[in-house]
Structure formats: structure tokens, C-alpha cells
Chain A
Amino acid sequence: MKEGFRQCTAWLHTWTGLVVGWVLFFIFVTGTAGYFQAEITRWMQPELPMSARAGVPTDPVLAVHHALDRLEQVAPGAARWSITLPHQSLVQRRWENLGVAWEDMPVSGNGAGQRGSETLDAATGAVLPAGPQPRDTAGGRVLYRMHYELRYMPYAWAIRIVGVCTMLMLLAITTGVITHKKIFTDFFTFRPGKGQRSWLDAHNAISVMALPFFLMITYSGLVFALFVYMPVGRDVLYGPDPLSKARFANELFERDGLAHAPVARPAIPLAPLMAQAEAAWGVGQLRSIAIERHEGGSPEITLTRVQRGSLDVWNPPALRFDAGTGALLPSAPPPGGSALQAQGALFNLHEGLFADIWGRWLYFVAGLLGCAMIGTGLVLWTVKRRRHHLGGGQERNEHMGVRLVEVLNVATIAGLPLAVAAYFWANRLLPLGMAERAAWEIHTLFALWLATLFYALARPLHRAWIELLWAACAAYALVPAVNALTTDKHLGRTLPAGDWVLAGFDLTMWGLAGLFALLALKVARRLRPVVAQASAPKTAVP
């Protein structure tokens, strides 16, 4: 090969990006939605009441007292008690009321006992009703899970397909940096209205600016399924069968295998311990209290801090006390040591669970930029190879491969967002009483996505682009309207009530509609003059 290194990487960049581009676009769209999965689920369950945040901070000592009363009554002799104090949960993304949860002693022969939980009134200790039953919905969670489980295929296949695509994306990012030789001199360059040059500028700018995010998200995505992609190390040491894998997990998470013994109300008052925790972390930073006891040992009380301010979301600071004497016990080392901690930090970087509302929007925008990077890259491939302009109606002379890529581009870049909007529509319009309603919401998404593929094949390409983009715009713009017609949680009520999760969803839909309107206008403007020129001789009637 006589070509230089950079030409080789350019070739590699183009083809690795193209081959898996559509799958990556799907992964990015559904994964980006995942950053708001709790909010999406919340919106998809309109039966639940609007957020009634307990504004008055109640006395935590009294609340814990009520909680212990209730646990003594409902779960005497359980293996574990836990009390959640009222707080704004970072991971659950909602206000958590005072709650109690328990795990019964396992019945002989069973690994785990029955679990139960209740929500209590922090002021009176009364058990709060569970609230209305929400509709059967797949919610934001299933939308998010699609970004690594895909759909309609075994998990083992899906995770491997996603892994290969991610690997190729990492390759495409690396080669892209090498290919883009004027990365610093071109840093701020965007030249609009110049066809291929503008696409290239936009692709470069987006990719370079959000490069830290892309590198992080791709690499940490691979680390997620580490032992699916690179199982040899574990299999050699522990063996490949499920039993050995369980042994590996037990050792990794240091499950000591000690049996639990029944717990009871601690003899010592909890107030001094809570005061100690508040002194260490600040007022209102105490999240939960757990009481458990290992066989042969004395009962222990663990106080845990609200998850905040650290990439290590799943191991928040905790204080452990002896329930008999009230003595502070040495803190347990994090399970799995620093290797597992490093892995946990990578996972949290990927999922963004540590982020507050600003960080969450940053992640969301970065995800959209990822979609834009893949989208512009895919379009660029066809723009480069397009011998005739789309608008000229001459695409039928084009090479079969170019046309295939074009059609897949339309169906993915314009069709998939439309299908996601249909998912939200399905949540509101499918009959509430139908069996497997949640599955049908997803069937709707994929049926519509398939339909957009055939639509793109059946229409002239430039028309398909413009029409599907407008359809996506209309679909998103009308989501709040459908919501208002079918539920009572519409903007007219959520905005005055200040429920920013529900109102924010509807407003975001309008934002996305605006984005698609902009795209549709841009594409239409790009294609129109050529249409006019090409058809001018035929229609030039004064």
C-alpha cells in the first residue's frame, strides 16, 4: 500500500463509521433518552399524583421513632430493617418520603426471605396508602435498556452486537482524530451553506468539541460488559460454568456467607448516633438507617449519607455502630477493593447518576451531540458520493449502494426519532385494559420504525427526508396535546403546580419539535433551488 498513514486511517474511519453507524445512532438515541429515564417513566404513569413534596422538614428523630414502631409491629424478628428518611433522591430523581423496608428471616431452604416496604407519614407515623395503580407501561427504563439489549433477540447476542459496534466506534473516534489533521487550526471553523464542506465542518466541530464525552461514553460502555467481551481471565481462574461465576461474584463482592440473625429494636436511643452523623455530614444529609445482625455477632446500625458529590454514587459515606453499646465500629472497606471502585466510577461516568439537574442536561445535550456526530457522518458519506443532487430527481441513476445508504439514513435519522415519538403516543392512546400493554408500546415503536423504512423506499429520497422530518416535528409537537386530551396532567395544570418533571417533559417535546422543524427547513431549503432549476423548463408557464 503506497498511501500514507493518514489516508489509511481516513479509509478506516469512513468504513468503520458507516458499517455500524445506524446501530450506533439507535444506541445513542435510546441511551440519550435514558438520562431522563426516571422522568420519562414518571410522565408515562399519569395516574400517579403530581409531586407533593413535603415542604416542612420534620423532626428526623421523631420520624425514626415512628418508623421503628411500625417495624416492630409489622416485621418482628426480621433479618433486616431499614429506614429511609425524607430526602431528595439523586438516583431515583424524586422526593422520597419516610419509608420502612424489611427482609424476613429466610424460610429454611430458601436463600432470601420475603421483603416488604411501606411509606409512612413522617409527622404521625401513619402508613400512607400506596396511591393509584399506574398504567402498565414500559416507561423510560425499557427505552433505556434497548440501548444495550436491543430488542427481539437474546441478550447474549445483543450485548455482543453492541460490543462490536462500540469497539468500532472507538476505532472510528481514534482514526477520526488522526484523519482530521488540522484539528487546532480548524478549531472554530464552520462554513455554512457550502454543501459537503459544511457537513464536514459540522461533523468535525461536533466531534472535536464533545470528544471527551464520546471517548468516555464509548470506553465506559465497553467496560460495562467486561466479562462478556473478555471472559478468559475469569474463566481460567474460576471456570466457565454458572456455579463458578457465582463463586467469582461472591468473592468479588465479599459476601461473607454469614447467616443473618433476627433483629429487634436497638436498646440504645438512635438520636445521639443521628446527631453524630449530622455533625459529620451536615443537617439533612442522613439518608437511611439499617439494622442487621450476623449470626453470633451483636446487632449493627448503619447510617448512610445522601448520595451526592461523588462519582462513587453506590458507596456513599456510612457510619457503623454497635447496637448494644453505641460504639462506633471501624468502617467496612469498599467491597471489591479499588479495582471495583474504579469500575464503579467508570459506570457512573457512563450513566451520569451522580449529576444534578444541570449535569443531567449536559449529559442529555452531549448525547444529542453524539446523535448529531453519527448523523452528520452518515450523511457525509452519501454527500461525498452523490453524483447528482438529490433534488434533481436523478437519484435513480445512482449507484445501488449509495441509494441503500441514503434510504437507511432517512429511515434512521428521521425515522427513529419519529418512532420514539410514537412510543409516547402509544403510552397515551393504547387501551388501558389490554394485556401486555407495555410490550405493545415497544411494538409500536418498532412497527413505526419499519414503516418509515418502507416509506423511505417508496418515496423519492428528498421528499422522504423532508416529509419524515416534518412528521417527526409534528409527532413531537402534538405529544403535549395528546397528553392534554387523554389525561389531566397537562401543561395547564402541571405548570401552575410547579411539577417540573411533568411540565419539563412536555416542554422538551416542543423543544425537540422545534429542532426537527429547523432540520426540515434546512433540508428543504438545501434541496429546493435545485428542484426549481431542474423542473424549471417543464413548468415555466408565466
Chain B
Amino acid sequence: MTSVHLGVLLLGLLGFTALALATERHAHHLLRRTPAPGWRRLARAAGWGLLLLSLVLSVAALDVGIGVTLWLGWLSIAALTLVFALPAWPWRPPARVGPLRKPMTPGSVSLPPRRRVEGRRVFALWLVVVLLVYGLALQAVPVKPLLRSDAIEGRVGPWTFRLAESERRGPDLVAMDIPMKAYHVRFDETGDMAIREAYLRVNKPRSLRAPGIVLNGTRWERHVNIQLPANATADSALWLTVVGKDGSVHQAAVRMGDVSPATVAWLERRS
């Protein structure tokens, strides 16, 4: 495949060179003499022929759709290479001697208004402000929930897990004032591979048919946003139900008050 691509490029380059030789100006530049019109016509025909040949090669090797697309791409590269290489050709046509535009002499320049320099200072200040705000905001970024010291460690069946709330604050109220709370869970490496899915809910599931909301993600950090029931208190528990890939079901409970103290306080205030 590589040889096809390089072949298309090379044929394109040769084709464009021939086309350049077919023009009076570039032929003179390249050869230091202007070739006869008949010779130039020949170069033009050869140029177009070579370009056509590269198209045939490209289409034959890459099929029509991709062949034409990449042929156009290679032609662009070939033509641009030639355009920017031609001025480096030794026999450059003599530069036209024209009047150079004179730069304004310093004397004719009116003195810079004072305002402009002050403007610059203001912008420099803004530059510092941007960098300062960025730095301060970066400093204030909390660590990931599961790396915080308040993350709960526990065991569910044969596996260990870490659980933490996303935000250490009261629940988010969605429509109709329903309190929602987001949690992150991460299992250990063996558990991660062996777990089919995991669910989270407040209070013990009455049956395994309704284990709660399934955790998002199948690998590493999983997260979920669950609804807090009206009867949730500090003594309520978050129930984690885990279904292994072997079909086994394990459950573990964590006290609500341990994971989400701010939420419990909010619930108690509301009741």
C-alpha cells in the first residue's frame, strides 16, 4: 500500500512539474530559456497524462471512492510542494526593481498618547487576574469522592468495595421536591471482573426483583443517582445489591448517617 501512495505522489509531482514547464514563465525560470510552443504543448500533454496515470493507479489500488479522495489529497501535497520549492530553484527570475515602501521616519510619528500605555497596564493586570483566578480555582478543586477520607470501606460477598457520596452536602431537589443523591462505588480488582451488575437503594429491598437503581459503568468507578425516600433517617441504610457473573447475589448495608451526614441533617431538619 505504501508504494501505491508514494507512486501517486510521485506521478502527481512529475505531472505538475511538466505542467509548470508548459507555462512560459516557469519554463523560463526552470530551464533559463523559453522553449518552443510545440515543446510546451508536449509538456502540457505529458503533465495531464501523468496526472491521469496517477488517478488510474490510485483508483486501481484503492477502489473508486477512496482512490479519488486520496488522489486529490496527494495532488494537493504535490502541487504545494512544487509551489513552495520553485522559488528555491537556483535560476530565480530577477526580482522586479520597484520603489520600496519607506517606513515612516520616527520624526513624523506623533507622540504616543499616554492613554495607550495605561491601557496596556490594564490588560497586563487582566492577564494576571486570569492566571490568578485559574490558579485559585485549581487549588479549590476537591479530590475525587472515593479518595476522600470519608469514603466507606466494606465487604459485599467475597469482594471489598469503597462507597462515597459525590458531594458532601444535602441532596439535590429535582421536580416535585424529590431529594436525589449521587454516589460512587468502586470494587476491588477481582470483584470488578466478576461482577455483572450492582444496584443501590435506601432501605432493604423487599425482594430481589427490585434491588434499586443499577450503577452506571461496568468497570472501575461506578456511579448512581438515587432517590431518597421520605422515611430516610440517620438509621436508614444504603443497600448495595451485587449480582456476580456466576449468578450469585450478595448484599451489604451501610448506615446512611455514615456516608451522608449532611443529607441526614437535612432530612431531619425537613421532618
Interfacial residues, chain A to chain B (CB-CB below 8 A): 74, 114-117, 127, 129-130, 133, 136, 185, 187-192, 195, 205-206, 209-210, 212-213, 309-312, 345, 349, 354-356, 358-359, 362-363, 365-366, 369, 388-389, 391-392, 394, 396-397, 430-431, 433-437, 440, 443-444, 447, 450-451, 454-455, 457-459, 530, 533-534, 537-538
| CB-based nearest B residue for A212 | B72
Centre residue among B63, B141, B220 by max chain A CB count within 10 A? B141
> How far does the alpha carbon of A191 sit from the alpha carbon of B143 in the complex, in Å?
57
Instruction: Identify which of A130, A392, A430 contacts B192 (C-beta below 8 A).
Output: A130
Complex interface residues of chain B between 61 and 93 (CB less than 8 A to chain A): 62-63, 65-66, 69-70, 72-77, 79-80, 82-84, 86-87
Which residues on A sit within 8 Å (CB–CB) of B138?
430, 440
- 27 CB contacts below 8 A, A to B, read A185-B23, A190-B84, A209-B76, A212-B72, A310-B63, A311-B65, A311-B66, A312-B65, A354-B66, A362-B77, A363-B73, A388-B103, A388-B104, A389-B103, A389-B104, A394-B104, A394-B109, A397-B110, A451-B131, A454-B124, A457-B119, A457-B123, A458-B121, A458-B127, A530-B103, A537-B106, A538-B106
Asked if A458 meets B123 with Cβ closer than 8 Å, knowing A189-B83, A209-B80, the reply is yes
Contacts of B87 in A (CB 8 A): 190-192
Q: How far is the CB of A195 from chain B (nearest CB, A)?
A: 8
Contacts of B196 in A (CB 8 A): 74, 114, 116
Q: Given B20, B69, B80, B109, which contacts A349 in the complex, CB threshold below 8 Å?
A: B69
B141 near A436 with CB under 8 A, answer: yes
Closest residue of A by beta carbon distance from B24: A185
Find A210's partner among B20, B26, B80 (CB 8 Å cutoff).
B80
Taking CB atoms, residues of chain B closer than 8 Å to A530 are: 103
CA distance A253 to B192 in the complex (A): 36
User: How many angstroms between the C-alpha atoms of A95 and B86 in the bound complex?
Assistant: 42
Chain A residue nearest to B82 in the complex (CB): A188
CB contacts (< 8 Å) of B110 on chain A: these are 397
**Contact of B147 with A by CB under 8 A:** yes
| Shortest distance from the beta carbon of B221 to any chain A beta carbon, whole Å | 8
Bound together, the chains give a CA A365 to CA B248 distance in angstroms of 54
Bound form: Cα–Cα A327–B121 in Å: 80
Of all chain B residues, the one with the shortest Cβ separation from A117 is B218
Contacts of B221 in A (CB 8 A): 133
Instruction: Give every chain B residue within 8 A of A185 (Cβ-Cβ).
Output: 23
Q: A133-B220, A190-B86 are contacts. A114–B124 as well, Cβ < 8 Å? A: no
Contact of B143 among A189, A369, A435, A537 (CB under 8 A): A435
**Using Cβ atoms and an 8 Å threshold, which residues of chain B touch A440?**
138, 141
In chain B, residues 184-240, which have Cβ atoms closer than 8 Å to a Cβ of chain A? 189, 192-193, 196-197, 214, 218-221
**Cβ of B66 and Cβ of A359 under 8 Å apart?**
yes
Contact in complex: B79, A209 (CB < 8 Å): yes
A114 to B220, CA, bound (A): 17
Pair B76/A366 contact, Cβ less than 8 Å: yes
Verify B126–A454 contact, CB threshold 8 A. yes
In B103-149, the 8 Å CB interface with A consists of 103-104, 106, 109-110, 112-113, 116, 119-121, 123-124, 126-127, 130-131, 133-134, 137-138, 141-145, 147
The answer to whether B245 and A451 have CB atoms under 8 Å apart is no
Contacting residues, chain A, for B82 (C-beta < 8 A): 188
Apart from A212-B72, A363-B73: 17 A-B pairs, beta carbons within 8 A: A127-B193, A188-B26, A188-B82, A188-B83, A213-B73, A349-B69, A359-B69, A366-B73, A369-B76, A388-B103, A394-B104, A430-B138, A434-B143, A435-B145, A447-B130, A454-B124, A458-B121
What's the least CB distance linking B92 to chain A, in Å? 10
Instruction: Count residues on chain B whose CB falls below 8 Å from chain A CBs.
Output: 67
Q: Which residues of B contact A114 (CB under 8 A)?
A: 196-197, 214
CB-nearest residue of chain A to B79: A209
How far is A195 from B123 in the complex, measured between Cα atoms in Å?
Answer: 30
| Docked pose: A397 CA to B110 CA in angstroms | 8
- Asked if A455 and B79 make an inter-chain contact with CB atoms under 8 angstroms apart, the answer reads no
Q: Does B255 contact A (CB under 8 A)?
A: no
- B271 interfacial contact with A, CB 8 Å: no
The reply to whether B72 and A457 form a contact with Cβ atoms under 8 Å apart is no
Query: Lowest 8 CB-CB distances: which A-B pairs, in order?
Result: A457-B123, A454-B127, A311-B65, A362-B73, A458-B123, A458-B124, A447-B134, A212-B72
Chain A residues near B83 (CB-CB < 8 A)? 188-190, 205, 209
Residue of A117, A127, A133, A451 near B130 (CB, 8 A) is: A451
A433-B103 in contact (CB<8A): no
Residues of chain A with a CB closer than 8 A to B174's CB = none
Smallest CB gap from B221: residue in A:
A133
What 1/0 mask marks residues of chain B from 146 to 158 whose CB sits below 8 Å from any chain A CB?
0100000000000
With A369-B76, A454-B126, A458-B123 in contact, do A188 and B218 touch (Cβ < 8 Å)? no
Contacts A206-B80, A209-B80: A362 and B145 contacting too (C-beta < 8 A)?
no
- Residues of B within 8 Å of A209, CB to CB, are 75-76, 79-80, 83
Q: Is the CB of A434 within 8 A of B65?
A: no
Closest CB in chain A relative to B77 CB, distance in Å: 7
Bound state CA distance, A444 and B141, in angstroms? 13
A354 to B65, CA, bound (A): 10
**Most chain A beta carbons < 10 A, residue from B86, B109, B116:** B109
A436 to chain B, nearest CB (A): 7
Chain B residue with Cβ nearest A363: B73
Q: Is the Cβ of A365 less than 8 Å from the Cβ of B66?
A: no
